[in-house]
Amino acid sequence: MKDLRIWSLLIFIFIIQYLLSDLLTIRYYQPDFIVIYVLYFGLYYGPYYGVIAGFSIGLLVDLTPMASYFGISPLTYSLTGFLSGHLQNKYNRLSPFVFHSIWILIIGFHFMIFTYIRFQLLFEVDKLQFIFRWFASFTYTLFFLFVMQFFFPIKRIHNA
Partner 1 sequence: MRTFYLIITKHKDIFALIFSIILSLMMLANGDSDNLRLLRGKSNSIFAYIYSPITWVRTKALIEEEALLLREKNLQLTFQLESMRHLLDENNRLKRLLNFKRESQLNLYPARVINMGASPHLSSSLSIDIGSNSGVSVNDPIMTPNGIIGKTIIVDDQESIVQLINDVTFRLSVRINPSGSTGILRWLDKNMYMIKEVQKNSNVEVGNQVVTSGFSDIFPSDLPVGEVINITDERGRFHKSVVVKINENIGSIMNLFVIVE
Which residues in this chain contact partner 1 in the complex, by CB under 8 A? Answer: 18-19, 46-48, 50-52, 54-55, 58, 62-65, 67, 69-72, 74-75, 78-79, 82, 85, 117
Nearer to partner 1, 64 or 149 (CB): 64
Minimum CB distance to partner 1, residue 106 (Å): 13
Q: How far is the CB of 151 from partner 1 (least distance, A)?
A: 25
Rank residues 31 and 54 by Cβ distance to partner 1 and give the closer one: 54
Point out which residues pair with 14 in neighbouring strands: none
Least Å distance between CB 150 and partner 1? 28
Cα–Cα distance list, 47 to 21, 39, 53, 137 (Å): 27, 10, 10, 25
What's the alpha-carbon Rg for the chain, to the nearest Å? 15
Q: Which is nearer to partner 1, 25 or 149 (CB)?
A: 25
In whole angstroms, how close is the CB of 74 to partner 1 at the nearest point?
A: 4
Residue 29 CA, distance from chain mean position = 14
Closest to 73 in 3D by CA, of 31, 26, 106, 32: 32
Rounding to the nearest 10 degrees, give the CA dihedral for residues 111, 158, 82, 11: -70
